[in-house]
Amino acid sequence: MYEVIATNIDVKNAVLKTLQYYALFSYPLKASEIHGSCSQQCSTEALLQAIEDLLTEKKVYKYNDFYSVQPNIEYLTERRKKGNEIAQKKYAKAVKAGRIINSFPFVRFVGISGSISKGYAEANSDFDFFIITENNRLWICRSLLHLFKKATFLVGAQHRFCMNYFIDTSKLELEERNIFTATELASIIPLHGSSLYRELNIKNKWQHQYFPNGYMPFVSTGSIDDGRSFLKKLCESFINILRPEQLNKRLMQITDTRWRNKWSKKNYPMADYELAFKTTLHVSKNHPANHQKRVLAKLSTLNSNCI
């Protein structure tokens, strides 16, 4: 078999698509970040040449070491730098919040997701978490965590516990396969559960087609805690004698009914419900703004204008 060598036009198109994606978040990138997020396999040299050509063609703008398809690159770069500094300060607090989440029964993996996992935050940014639970215990685990979150409203700390995506150990392979999901998955910062994190990536090898050059994390991964406290094990043992499968299913049904009622009262199209509120025994996704759909729709329009 012969290796297919990417042409300059192929690489330029891939660079534009990468920058267009991050332009949706007003986030300029460094060359190394473009390379890591680029969907076209290419050398660093080929990528730099493509960027230079796009700069000459005035399709890409540069300020210091940052690039964007948006002409207000200077403002965006300074905005990014400020957001990077805020994220760095919030990171330690997010790690502490993740430690609390991990202390709850049946939590098997905790990872930071959302904007902080991309190294960016604003003063009012939430702490988003991706959580994996024990099989057939997701809704018990989720219900306990969200009862705890309601209590955090009393001290104004609810924004530190945005737990909007749960899967259990039987559903590690994600169903949605697109650039949005691939980016969110690749950028997760694992805090607890190293073996499950490795298995999650093995089950979702499809993400590598979006990042053939090797994804460049925006935040370095620290040590991952794999411990499970005696109290956590004791609580799990107690719950496991209370017909947990039936309880787990009942909690899912109650939550789904409540969510559907809220969705219909807002006159949102029910066709979008399954994407925004994925609710099965093994998956819980609660994204009322349906951000994924809006991002992919905007990106489709932008990509049609590539070379």
- Same domain, residue pair 39 and 125: no
Amino acid letter, residue 295: V
Q: Please check whether residue 303 lies inside any domain of the structure.
A: no
- Same domain, residue pair 66 and 182: no
Q: What is the rounded distance in angstroms from the CA atom of residue 225 to the CA atom of residue 250? A: 32
Maximum mean pLDDT: which of 51-55, 177-181, 302-306: 51-55
Residue % of the chain over a pLDDT of 90: 73
3-class SS at 297?
helix
- Give alpha helix (H) positions in the chain: 8-23, 31-37, 44-56, 73-102, 138-152, 179-186, 194-203, 230-239, 244-265, 273-276, 291-303
Q: Please check whether residue 271 lies inside any domain of the structure.
A: yes
Q: Which residue has the higher pLDDT, 184 or 272?
A: 184
Q: Please check whether residue 79 lies inside any domain of the structure.
A: no
Write down the pTM of the prediction.
Answer: 0.91
Amino acid letter, residue 215: Y
- Same domain, residue pair 63 and 181: no
- Same domain, residue pair 131 and 261: yes
Predicted confidence (pLDDT) at residue 154 exceeds the cutoff of 60: yes
- Same domain, residue pair 104 and 157: yes
Q: What is the rounded distance in angstroms from the CA atom of residue 227 to the CA atom of residue 278? A: 30
Q: What is the rounded distance in angstroms from the CA atom of residue 113 to the CA atom of residue 131? A: 10
Would you give the end-to-end CA distance of the chain in angstroms? 28
Per-residue HEC secondary structure of 165-232 comes to EEEECCCCCCCCCCHHHHHHHHCCEEEECHHHHHHHHHHCHHHHHCCCCCCCCCCCCCCCECCCCHHH
What digits encode the pLDDT tens for the residues 215-235? 999 988 777 888 889 999 999
Q: Please check whether residue 285 lies inside any domain of the structure.
A: yes
Which residues, at least 6 apart from 249, have a Cβ–Cβ distance to it below 8 Å? 139, 281
Q: Please check whether residue 194 lies inside any domain of the structure.
A: yes
Averaged pLDDT score across all residues of the chain: 90
